[in-house]
Structure 1
């Protein structure tokens, strides 16, 4: 078996996956593109395993691990996308930047946050120097 055929196919699959991640706005299509990229890597692992005639079949074993990770990733990713869709009504990635909490105002943030009250020691130093 020539190594060029699966390598070229894997490169094409990976390029389609990269295009899908960069160009798509729908979160489900981005997850599908990531899966395409993982499958391209799996194809390379198996092809090189066969080409090198590895007696331990390390490429195929690693492919099983990446399939397991991909299944866990798609399960968690789809659950997050479904929760975002329920709350927002859209799975548009450009609108997901609005998920951050707005500034809660003075006195409610962590001590280093803008608008948070300063500790009493800083007030005493400020009064002493004034």
Structure 2
């Protein structure tokens, strides 16, 4: 039987992998992937706690809301990355040293 602890361990692993990706990568797309892994870990926590809460389904509702927000944030972030690439011809955050001309 899968318990709440199993969900929390998997979620902690996802969060740690996402944090490692954010801290170690030099590519903006890979950093966005790390952020998405961390958001998925938080969503997994919401669903897990919602599953073991017998009173209502608030965890699943919050998880659905978080998924919609994550999708919108990813779309905006990808648009920003594309515009930065179009202007500077790189997506390495360390090489972009000025944001206005």
Q: Report the TM range for the smaller structure's normalisation.
A: over 0.9
Root mean square deviation of aligned Cα: 1.1
**1:60 maps to what in 2?**
60
Shift of 1:98: 2.3
Aligned pair count? Answer: 100
What's the TM-score, normalizing by structure 2? Answer: 0.92
Gaps in structure 1 of 5+ consecutive residues? 102-130
* Structure 2 portions without partners, runs of 5+: none
Question: SS of the counterpart of 2:96?
Answer: helix
Deviation, 1:76, is 0.4
What secondary structure sits across from 1:83 in the alignment? helix
Equivalents in 2 of 1:95, 1:56: separation in Å? 49
1:71 aligns with 2:71: yes
Q: What is the CA deviation profile of residues 14-65 of structure 1, one whole-angstrom value per residue up to 9, with x for unaligned ones?
A: 0001111111110011111101000000001101111122x32000000011
TM-score (norm 1): 0.73
Give the distance between the partners of 2:19 and 2:26, measured in 1 at CA: 13
Select the structure with the greater relative contact order (CA < 8 A; seq sep ≥ 6): 2
Q: Which has the higher helix share?
A: 2
Where do 1:1-130 residues align within 5 Å? 1-53=2-54, 55-101=55-101
